[in-house]
Structure 1
């Protein structure tokens, strides 16, 4: 065990320089994104010169470019450098809010003091681009840092039981979070020397001071079964600068939870965002704001794909399926046809002749080699998910939302518990969802239920925007689809 402890100590020492490299990478990415937004804003302002008769010389951009250099200070004050442990949605929220407020400050400064010094048109367009480009560039910078091994800090998990194993598994599955599980400590001697989720259990919690002295700064206290006095004592005595407590609240939402001091008693305020009327209004407004132009832009593509389908397989290019919608109401969901007209008969014969395929179907309700799919157009539409484009009409009708749990067939829903089905019925089904951008066809029933539950309980407009951005990436890369 001493050898493993020394090895972990070396990993801690090696990673001590990584935060500086991570901050430098994020800082460089943000500055490049901001200056690129300025160039895009200027180009857009010049391209729309018929609306803006006054010319803006390139020299005028110099002072704006210098002003943009202060933005990383705002990001740093918002805890984004490096921001280990922040969920992606929270990162996006902080980045957008700081960017928006700083641009408003620049515009106010120009209007109050400079008047004709800067172009408000250039500033306005630059802000519009920056609100999108800066979060995307930051996400790309983190991905690059992860691949270079320069992202994240080592974390020791206190408690090697089921809760600790779950924490380790989730942290390893999400390296962008920046918390890299390194080892366990547990007071149960039977666990010393074994490995949990591929990580060693070094010994008892008495080793915590030694790890802290070697430079380890983060610990996750995952002992929800311990009594209150034991937890309070550990929180007081643990020498780590950052201790994350995992309470015995599995299944409860994890985003938009705030601590409250109830006259000396610790309370957790859980904001149920989807029960707030204005949030439902903003979500519906987003559906129309993005859904209408997307629907109009999709019409030429729908016509092209419809002709392609009819060329490959005679019959209608579109079809509707009855699905369970909001409050259990039956809705007709439209899709481009990607299968043969006798698809169900083909599927029944194929599953009867292939036991392995039957097992795959019963677990995922999808097949990698699906005999029902049309050659060429069918595979293309399914891999890109463009067969779902007609559902933009369902969104405009108010039967669906751009983001939400996907409307499954009834035979699929019957595999879930009634409690989960009741939770799904409480929101509009979505054109895309967290499952589609996280696991997609690779996620079984358990994964589908976990991700849909997480989305509904943790909903926010920021989460919707994140999922929409991820959807574009997934469609372009065709990740996880078949």
Structure 2
């Protein structure tokens, strides 16, 4: 006796099968390009190591072929099981930490394999592995960031997301995801609470959810929740967990610490473990050592550039080469932040006259303290050093003195304290920086309130990995002059 499925059951099976194929294709399109980029990076790193070692071992040229395939195999396994490709919703700074750990694990496994199982390993091969380890740590994070940035511009890359919640909050979450395309999340639809509540029965509600997920081919449901009581939406979590592969909960308060916050079980209830990394003395010492180390490393390159800029400023405008301005630092201590002078000597008078002649621009100035066509800028050299942020190079002296860090919140003046409101105590916890999240997130294209929000995010989520991410992004931002004027 055969049992024949009903048309309804057959339709459901077809939809489920179609959804599984869609999810598999999404994963394939999102993961394979990054796997290829990782493989190419490993090849380049080992080839670069062999070139460097060629001067020491000029007569040996065969170790690359013997070590490359085992390394690629080890890396493929390590990266796959280590979560290198579970990047959906993962902040790039978290990815840098994960990639560094997996790179070092792969290279150490290769080294152990050679020491334990290969009787023919030569000093050259062992040296090749060690130099590859160093070059991979230097090259791979940058390649990963570039790969994600380029892939995020493609409509086919990333996992499709259905946002569920009240209309206003769901729209806000959708815009935020779209703005951060490098998170590998692609919003494909919104299902509002009103539409769900319009379903009169549980069956209709389930049917609406299934049809929406199936039609949008969403593999992830993002719940935009507004109720502060988790028990009020626990049933919704259970419900959506049966409809999609993954469920992500986004509360209405966007200001929670996020990067290093972990869920904890406290006797059957959920807790969030947020580490106050700014209170960790050794991490602050590591940040300080990173500042000094990077300044010393790039000093031979920076000194000639600074001398050239100083000469050009002197030749194109009367007055001092440097400009100092009082800023508020850590714990409220004031200091003089130095810059190359990019404005004419009578800058304040020129600004006031310009605003009097163009009253429509006064609101822009009072809101952002910036003007796209600033009359105070020294013609030529002034515009160049501001567009490429070269006017801030003298702040390296502030870094060496300990007044500033390479990365941190934008240093503010006393008149800006009132605008920071509740965020100002957070600002006082850290040393302001030459670069920061504001500089790599649009700079002058962001509003003043967005700058404050970015500063608060940095303080709440600070880590050395976030600093390294911002430094890497700064290079791209400066070279492409993103948001500069």
Partner of 2:476: 473
Cα–Cα, structure 1 residues 290 and 227, in superposed 2: closer, same or farther, change >3 Å? closer
Cα–Cα, structure 1 residues 260 and 342, in superposed 2: closer, same or farther, change >3 Å? same
Partner of 2:360: 356
Cα–Cα, structure 1 residues 310 and 152, in superposed 2: closer, same or farther, change >3 Å? same
How far apart are the structure 2 equivalents of 1:29 and 1:475? Answer: 24
Offset of residue 288 of structure 1 = 1.1
8 Å contact 2:79–2:85 — kept in the other structure?
Answer: yes
> Are 2:226 and 1:210 equivalent residues in the alignment?
no
Partner of 1:309: 313
Partner of 1:182: 188
Give the secondary-structure state (helix, strand or coil) at the position aligned to 1:225. coil
> Are 2:442 and 1:442 equivalent residues in the alignment?
no
Give the secondary-structure state (helix, strand or coil) at the position aligned to 1:434. coil
Unaligned ranges ≥5, structure 1? 1-8, 193-202
Cα–Cα, structure 1 residues 437 and 144, in superposed 2: closer, same or farther, change >3 Å? closer
8 Å contact 1:171–1:180 — kept in the other structure?
Answer: yes
8 Å contact 1:405–1:430 — kept in the other structure?
Answer: yes
Give the secondary-structure state (helix, strand or coil) at the position aligned to 1:315. coil
Matches within 5 A, 1:338-349: 338-349=342-353
> Are 2:33 and 1:31 equivalent residues in the alignment?
no
Partner of 2:169: 163
Partner of 1:384: 388
Matches within 5 A, 1:320-339: 320-339=324-343
CA RMSD of aligned residues (A): 2.4
How far apart are the structure 1 equivalents of 2:197 and 2:310? Answer: 61
Match of 1:430 among 423, 430, 433: 433
Offset of residue 363 of structure 1 = 2.1
Offset of residue 187 of structure 1 = 3.2
How far apart are the structure 2 equivalents of 1:162 and 1:12? Answer: 31
Matches within 5 A, 1:80-95: 80-81=84-85, 83-95=87-99
8 Å contact 2:19–2:214 — kept in the other structure?
Answer: no
Structure 1 residues 165-194: Cα deviation after superposition (integer angstroms, max 9, x where no partner): 2211110101111111122223325998xx
Offset of residue 68 of structure 1 = 2.4
Structure 1 residues 264-304: Cα deviation after superposition (integer angstroms, max 9, x where no partner): 11111011111111111111111111122334431111111
Partner of 1:146: 152
> Are 2:47 and 1:79 equivalent residues in the alignment?
no
Structure 1 residues 321-366: Cα deviation after superposition (integer angstroms, max 9, x where no partner): 1111111111011111111111111111111111232122122211
How far apart are the structure 2 equivalents of 1:147 and 1:77? Answer: 27
Unaligned ranges ≥5, structure 2? 1-16, 199-203
How far apart are the structure 1 equivalents of 2:195 and 2:427? Answer: 44
Matches within 5 A, 1:206-245: 207-213=208-214, 215-225=217-227, 228-238=230-240, 239=242, 240-245=244-249
Match of 2:137 among 106, 131, 135: 131
Partner of 1:101: 105
How far apart are the structure 2 equivalents of 1:426 and 1:246? Answer: 27
Cα–Cα, structure 1 residues 406 and 176, in superposed 2: closer, same or farther, change >3 Å? same
Cα–Cα, structure 1 residues 42 and 277, in superposed 2: closer, same or farther, change >3 Å? same
Output the TM-score relative to the length of structure 1. 0.89
How far apart are the structure 1 equivalents of 2:281 and 2:452? Answer: 26
Partner of 2:7: none
How far apart are the structure 1 equivalents of 2:421 and 2:251? Answer: 27
Offset of residue 113 of structure 1 = 4.3
Offset of residue 439 of structure 1 = 1.8
Cα–Cα, structure 1 residues 230 and 322, in superposed 2: closer, same or farther, change >3 Å? closer
8 Å contact 1:187–1:205 — kept in the other structure?
Answer: no
Comparing 320-329 and 353-362, the one that deviates more: 353-362
Partner of 1:200: none
Partner of 1:197: none
Partner of 2:3: none
> Are 2:24 and 1:22 equivalent residues in the alignment?
no
Offset of residue 375 of structure 1 = 1.0
Cα–Cα, structure 1 residues 242 and 190, in superposed 2: closer, same or farther, change >3 Å? closer
Partner of 1:116: 122
> Are 2:53 and 1:45 equivalent residues in the alignment?
yes
8 Å contact 2:312–2:381 — kept in the other structure?
Answer: yes
8 Å contact 1:295–1:393 — kept in the other structure?
Answer: no
8 Å contact 1:107–1:123 — kept in the other structure?
Answer: yes
How far apart are the structure 2 equivalents of 1:400 and 1:38? Answer: 37
Comparing 109-118 and 176-185, the one that deviates more: 109-118
Structure 1 residues 417-460: Cα deviation after superposition (integer angstroms, max 9, x where no partner): 33222211111010110100112111111110111100010001
Partner of 2:304: 300
Structure 1 residues 108-160: Cα deviation after superposition (integer angstroms, max 9, x where no partner): 33344444165333222222221132222233333333333221122111103
> Are 2:261 and 1:260 equivalent residues in the alignment?
no
8 Å contact 1:405–1:424 — kept in the other structure?
Answer: yes
How far apart are the structure 1 equivalents of 2:299 and 2:320? Answer: 20
Cα–Cα, structure 1 residues 132 and 11, in superposed 2: closer, same or farther, change >3 Å? farther
Output the TM-score relative to the length of structure 2. 0.88
How far apart are the structure 2 equivalents of 1:190 and 1:34? Answer: 49
Give the secondary-structure state (helix, strand or coil) at the position aligned to 2:163. strand
Match of 2:294 among 290, 300, 306: 290
Partner of 2:65: 62
Comparing 60-69 and 382-391, the one that deviates more: 60-69
